[in-house]
Structure 1
Amino acid sequence: MMYRSSPQIFAVVLAVAGLLGAAAPASAQTSASAPATATAEYRLGSGDVLRISVYQNPDLTLETRVSEAGVLSFPLLGTIKIGGLSVTQAEKLIADGLKSGNFVKQPQVTIVVLQVKGNQASVLGQVNRPGRFPIEVADMRLTDLLANAGGVASSGAEIVILSGTRNGQAFRTEIDLPALFAPGGRSQDILVQNGDVLWVDRAPMVYIYGEVQRPGAMRLERGMTLMQSLATGGGLTQRGTEKGIRVHRKGADGKVQILQAAMDEALKDGDVVYVRESLF
């Protein structure tokens, strides 16, 4: 039995085929135009411990350390310089050497960094875990380094100092940590490089004594006023008087000045607040 094709059915088949044909190039175009995310690679340095292997050539597997000169000795190739190269570049360098020397026809080289020793930065001062830390990625930032050190200790300041070398010149900058997390603060989270030192100083302090409930040293918060410091000290005792409050402040010449500051005046690091006893 023979069936005649219906014109309506034929039209539907053509429409579906047209849709499928149009969809395929669009999908391919979308895939081709998708942005590729490039991640900066770690640069090999002296002291790094590597494991180098060549696919299907176990006799070429090598576990070695990069020398101070940035070189290592590889079987069949001898001494090669890989210091400053990325892992991908070092793999290609070895593969090209094996191929050009007719040692391996299609070498597939893999390098695994076992220990990062060549690129390190130090964190000192008021942090929870001071020490030297490896720079394991090329885009390691100040906040990453500070996180490795356990963050700023309770006695640490909000402004930290990063020093090192940039383009052969001495480099030093101060970073306001709270500003890093403000809108647009990401630009201040600078990249850390080999040999950098991050210093976290102690937090600024003020000292209060005399007729207050809790005399002693206290952390000087940003913008803290004289009244706020007295409140932190528990306020005046029954014998204390606001008229007898004096602020002892060391000037630029090293001499101490005695000031009768207003309650809303901001204090400075090292200020000593003295509350006198009321005479009446």
Structure 2
Amino acid sequence: MIRTDLRYHRPGTPREAGALLAGHAGDAVVLGGGTVLLPMMGRAEITARHVVDLRGLGLDAITEHAGHVEIGAMATYRHLYTSPVLARRVPLLSRMAVGITGGEQIRNLGTIGGSACFANPSSEVPAVLVALGATLRLHGPAGYRDVAAAGFFGGAFATDLADGEFLASLLVPHQQGRTGYHKLKLCEGSWPIVTAVATADPERDGAAVTVGAAQAVPARIELTALLSGDGGLDLGSVDALVRRQIDDPWSDVLADGTYRREVAGAVVRRAVTDLFEGPNR
């Protein structure tokens, strides 16, 4: 049950939002789309007394810049997969968003920034951001600071956000090469068991895969050593490599760590197959 003495705040500027979060540090939460936060508050899993709603800050724009796209943290999944900028410059984000777990309601309300900050290991978002080399732009009492996605996720449901900070936007480089994407789920509406994003680096003839949901934070695994002379990949060696790299597998009610580690190789192989044989995206 949501507490009855809840205080709702809707700041009009980033500075005001930061001041509210800093002034109520430890007793304030940020409201984005609310698809995760509100159910958790209803179950008394989150008992903060102050809710800071960022919807008045205009943080849902998707803007193209030289070499990267800036995505407001409040952009919903629908914003992502209907954006012509992302379809042209970062099509992997469009592909992820249209297939996000939860169906139409989540696509309409859920935000990419909320998913990043919730940092559920089973979410599709963390691994995709790490694979794309995204940067997260945080706003706090000292102004803005940028953190690479690979350093933002600090563990299960843990991030680099400090007191008084919130995620303002995400800076995502234009995709330069092909990508492959695959995820394993128990059913359409469940969180993924394992996700995999395979990427090719045309500048150095390399390849890598970022595995999500298999451990508490995304694992980036270099695949270049497995490339064959004709540009393909030695798929037979993938399973052993992935098992070595997933050294601290994540367990929850959907699947234990042992299972996640065992199936991760198969998910990676399918992402790699998509990388080399699927549409050029």
Identify the structure with bigger relative contact order (alpha carbons < 8 Å, sequence gap 6+): 2
Task: Give your verdict on TM over 0.5.
Answer: no
TM-score by length of 1: 0.28
Determine which structure has the larger helix proportion and give its number. 2
Determine which structure has the larger strand proportion and give its number. 1
TM-score by length of 2: 0.28
